[in-house]
Structure 1
């Protein structure tokens, strides 16, 4: 148990590296890609929704913007999508900072509605700018230049690298003064402002950082699928999936969004395989999330950690009491011997 606790991260990394070679079927490469993609985007969403408490339902707007910027750059300028995606995502992040400066004047349900409105505006714009986005039919991209045998594997390793980067950014933010300010705002924004936290600046920056990796994911996805359209690029369910994965794994934790993605994406594929592309999938996922919210409102990771700590606490207390009793017995015995010696 101690071995796993100390070495699980390197072991997990090695397993992820070996996964495409152990499972050579293209389906498993695609499944692995989407698991890592959603793990990265859920981690990114968690920086805003988990650390600050401002839950956005419109983050798929940044997903769609990243997808279209990469696709347009590939068609119009001939840019390699895998090279251009990280740089074009910066443009989306800057747009998010500007939009966040406007929308983050609201909070609670008003902010949620504002993010949904943002998503719908971008979706309608993409449908109507036919000269740029090709409208409803969408845009196609050239196929990747590598061998069809390895058509999905490069995407898998590419997104694995960016997942590690996103986790590092999330970890660094959480341990920094900036992250402490975000958590303070989540607990009580008024008190955080009173003690000197620039709440507006912190929220806007978190919104921009959160948008970056989602936009990057959208750009990589557009090249992965080779064809995108506004209906799928600006799909609200993409943002909903990020939220569900984060809540399932553990809201506001580092590894919770990753765990949620590793559970929900394969489960979604299994449900779609069993029942087909019907609304039954949404009903089953919705029911599962209701059970999680009712019985594990803090998420799977936080709940399990709490159970383990609660089980350890009585043992630790018993061990401590036992140690104290042994110390007391030994000291009493020593004192008794000293008394006997003095009498002699």
Structure 2
């Protein structure tokens, strides 16, 4: 379990994290979301004792990270950019970590295999791609077979197979009673893997809720329609204020109208329907609505800044 109690971090006059309080329970994958600059990485670094809080505290199973005797056997963490010295190999890097935490050497080959790095075990890390460094960082996080995993943007640089691997890994760890706390900007992946979500903006908590509950409460609802006269139907629906996205196979995705309203408009205009259903809302839609007032860096803002 991870517990944050009024966790706060100042950098001079800038407050990066402001009195964050929440709990991450075992048996779940908890996604950690927020705009760039929201304080996600700073929060994770404070949990891991890499940054000292200005005030407040974070606890791992009731104690501070610095009080853990063999931390890698309790918490496995991968923070972006911490995949080992470029002159080392995966094997030497993991060996040093194992010795420092009294982890059996047999775990080295196990996690190399789990991360798909057996063939690269003797290569220097400096020649690794971003995806390979990500795999090595995750292998290091798994080395102590910890109850808790903390992963900061673990999908960056991974190919489709790698993303599927880390997604299943997180699900399996949670199903076995572990605690998984993961940050990511990939909303579609978080929607698939996260049981719970913590959203922050400008260093403050926006909400913590189950993923399905958050999507249901805040995502724009989408109606799926498939009709032989899809283009004509789209015109009729647009006349009633609907926003429409056309897909293949005469399929439309409609927002701005209810299921009943779409059905009534189609009926009154004698359109034949082959499908009329309410699709699950997207996490991206809910995220945009919840964080719109906390985004500090946007394309339009950047454009104005460059014009000054």
Which protein shows a greater Rg? 1
More strand by share: 2
Q: TM-score, normalised by structure 1?
A: 0.26
Q: TM-score, normalised by structure 2?
A: 0.28
More helix by share: 1
